[in-house]
Amino acid sequence: MIKVENLSQSFREQQVLEDISFEIKQGEFFGIIGPNGSGKSTLLRLLSGIDPVKNGRVDLGGRLVSSYSRKELAKWLAVLQQDALPPVGFTVREVVEMGRYPFQNWLGEEPADAEGLIDGIVRKLHLEPLIDRTIERLSGGERQRVSLAKVMAQQPRLLMLDEPTTFLDIGYQVQMMDYIKEWQRESELTVVAVLHDLNLAAQYCTRLMVVHNGKLAAIGTPDEIITSGLISEVYGTEPIVLQHPVNDAPQILLQPGK
């Protein structure tokens, strides 16, 4: 699905990413973790084609990501960010319908009728009571659910998440990740997620990659990555790592410094 070779990126002579190589298979839930400023979001922008690749290469489905037109790329992948909804004044339904843009002609018309698809997404995410509200009248959790509905309407094969739970309380965080995990399983979606919450990453991702100081520090399963030694080395704090009592995923407990 994705192949990255010797990827490097710098801004104003400051090295942000250095010689990163890895592959992501179709159907994976692949997490990217690391401290603030380590280059995670820059990496995601390169993978999604938002920023041009200057050094190294990123292949998407066997083609250079730069070889896709914007509309072609939008049929391939969608990006869910912390808060990427349009300006105020649009209703929930109008925002969800914006996800169909890649399939519309220059008149805004679509050959296939997408009403059934939109209605199904609205029901799945329990947005019916909000459907005629404008987005400025929604809570943070509701807004992010609408953002998810919009990218679901896009019907991508690849979903990229840029810390989508950052401003949500714990109830909405779990709800959001559950919706995404269910969508991934139902449609064999490939998910690449930049996450700052290590416990969420360990619960939902099949593999994790650690980026530290712009370099690939480690890659593996959550059990291989979420260890007290590696977390201490990368984040500068030594946690207690336990197994989740229900699903055995590694979970960390922070302890105050001495």
> What is the DSSP track for 84-112?
-PPPTT-BHHHHHHGGGGGG--TTS--SS
Q: What is the mean pLDDT of residues 217-223?
A: 97
Closest of 234, 214, 245, 250 to residue 38, by C-alpha = 214
Does 160 have pLDDT greater than 70?
Answer: yes
Listed in sequence order, the residues at least 6 apart from 15 whose beta carbon sits closer than 8 Å to its beta carbon are 8, 9, 214
Give me the pLDDT at residue 102, please.
85
Mean pLDDT over the full length of the chain: 91
Element (H, E) at 23: strand 14-24
- Tell me: pLDDT of 210 over 70: yes
Which CATH entry fits the domain spanning 2-222: 3.40.50.300, 3.20.20.70, 3.40.1280.10, 2.130.10.10?
3.40.50.300
- Amino acid 11: pLDDT: 84
Q: Of 53 and 165, which is predicted with more confidence?
A: 53
Average pLDDT over residues 107-117: 74
Determine the pLDDT at residue 111: 60
Domain boundaries along the sequence of the chain: 2-222
Task: Say yes or no to pLDDT of 88 above 70.
Answer: yes
